[in-house]
Amino acid sequence: MFDLKGSRAVVTGASGGIGRSCALALAASGAELVLFDIHAERLEDTAEQLLDVGCRATVVVGDVTSESDRARLSEVTLDGGAPDVLVNCAGIIKRQDITTMALLDLDVLWDVNVRGTVGITQSLLPAMIQAGRGKIINLGSLGSVTGLDRRTAYATTKGAVALYTKSLAREVGQYGICVNAIAPGYVDTSMTSEWILGDSMRTEQLLSRIPLGRFGRPEDVDGLLIFLASAASDYLTGQVIMLDGGWTTT
């Protein structure tokens, strides 16, 4: 029920953090992989780690904000047929004061987090529609739902990703395609560790709001990801699922 043998999955943002962990989990469940990221060297590292678990991934180096890079990814991917799974994990964060936030920050984050997600999806969606099946999994955030202080641009773009997820789910359900978002809380990655661990007072405050009593690890995402990528979730769509150690209950 949770098996992915014979499935093909595309993972963007696969060079590190949650994206790399997603790639490893998909491979461990038997999926074939196409990896996409702007960081060539770290992406190769991911591919090498995958070799260790017996998965020879196709690597495409590119930028989710570039139309020609997206076209290249889709060409390489569709060579092997429509993908069964698309994981839109590429994303960036910037922290700023709301009063002095540069509006350019909003543009930069919007480009990667929203236009990137929408553009990548659009480039692969027609093939998935034609195949009449597919799982699209977007990486949202706790902030998709709660908003985030001093991370206004990030939370705004992740809110957009959540609404894109729901809108897309409504539109492509008729083709048997499920679209959901994983909304992690505070997961310790290179993108977040300075924020969550860099100031002991803040660390303590954050931990005090996590009933499970610890920050998340990238591997905590694996189970939900595989569930959403597999046939076990064939009637589950349009959901933004919190993976937050219970944060949203406090």
Partner 1 sequence: MDIRFTNSRVLVTGGGKGIGAAVAEAFAEAGATVGVHYHQGREDADQLVERLTARGLAAFSLGADLTADEAPSNLVKDFVKLAGGVDVLINNAGGLIRRSPVEDTDDALFRDVVQLNFGSAFAMTRAVIPYLRANGGGSIVNISSVAARTGGAGNAVVYAASKGALTTFSRGVAKEVVADGIRVNSVEPGLIDTAFHANTTPSAFQTMASGVPMGRAGRPADLTGAVLFLASDVHAGYITGQSIGVNGGLWVD
Q: Is 14 in the site for partner 1 (CB under 8 A)?
A: no
Q: Which stretch binds partner 1 (CB under 8 A): 83-91, 118-126, 192-200, 237-245?
A: 237-245
- Measured CA to CA in angstroms, residue 118 lies from 8, 20, 98, 198 at distances of 20, 20, 26, 33
Q: Is 54 in the site for partner 1 (CB under 8 A)?
A: no
Q: Is 114 in the site for partner 1 (CB under 8 A)?
A: no
Q: Is 91 in the site for partner 1 (CB under 8 A)?
A: no
Active-site residue 164, yes or no?
A: no
Nearest approach, Cβ of 193 to partner 1 (angstroms)?
17
Q: Where are the beta strands (DSSP E) in the chain?
A: 8-12, 32-37, 58-61, 85-88, 134-139, 177-184, 240-243
131, amino acid identity: A
Cα(207)–Cα(213) distance, rounded to whole angstroms? 6
State the CB neighbour count (10 A cutoff) for residue 239: 18
Residue 87 three-state SS: strand
Q: Is 237 in the site for partner 1 (CB under 8 A)?
A: yes
Find where tokens 């694996």 sit.
222
**Which residue, 107 or 171, has its beta carbon nearer to partner 1?**
171
Nearest approach, Cβ of 14 to partner 1 (angstroms)?
18
150 within 8 A of 196, measured Cβ to Cβ: no
**Which residue, 51 or 212, has its beta carbon nearer to partner 1?**
212
Q: Is 6 in the site for partner 1 (CB under 8 A)?
A: no
* CB half-sphere exposure, 233, CA atoms < 13 A: 26
Restricting to residues 140-199, name those near partner 1 by CB under 8 A: 166, 169-171, 173-174, 176, 178
Q: Is 23 in the site for partner 1 (CB under 8 A)?
A: no
Residues with a known catalytic role: 154
Residues near partner 1 (CB under 8 A) are 1-4, 25, 28-29, 166, 169-171, 173-174, 176, 178, 211-213, 216-217, 220, 222-224, 226-227, 230-239, 241-246, 248-250
